[in-house]
Amino acid sequence: MSHQGQILQEAIKNSGISITRIVDELGITRPTIYRKFKEETLDYTFVTRVGDIIGHDFSNDFTALQQAPLPFVSSAAPVTPLQSVTQRSVPLQQPEQDCVKQLMTLQTKYISLLEAYNELLLKVYGPR
């Protein structure tokens, strides 16, 4: 079974739109998108942005299991005036496996953020 990165790569390949154009419109580097192709799960916003660029709807490509939110993303419950921040309950996490998955996801986001920052520095200050 293909994971989300492979599905994304195949859709881009079938679209006929160049990787260069996609990374330019997304504001990321080529290595970043190639790393995304290797990821089992992808950020919903990223996938929809790519879908908009290539004219592809990914909602039918991912199974319900693949579309499930990551464990560290929780929907915030509305806070009533009588509740304090300390009264919110924190959902229990699965042991180590979920923690490793969370760390890998955060590492990927951190790398993407650093690359975006470097690109911004190049735009502002130019190459050395």
CA distance linking residue 106 with residue 80, whole number of Å: 31
Contact indicator for 122, 29 with CB cutoff of 8 Å: no
Q: What pLDDT was estimated at residue 115? A: 87
State the average pLDDT over residues 15-35: 93
pLDDT in tens, 53-75: 999 988 887 764 444 444 444 44
Q: What pLDDT was estimated at residue 94? A: 53
| 71: its two tokens | 């464990």
pLDDT in tens, 32-56: 999 999 998 888 889 989 999 999 9
DSSP alpha helix (H) spans, the chain: 4-15, 19-26, 30-38, 44-54, 64-67, 96-125
Query: Is 4-70+91-125 in CATH node 2.60.40?
Result: no
Domain boundaries, the chain: 4-70+91-125
State the average pLDDT over residues 76-102: 57
Q: What pLDDT was estimated at residue 41? A: 87
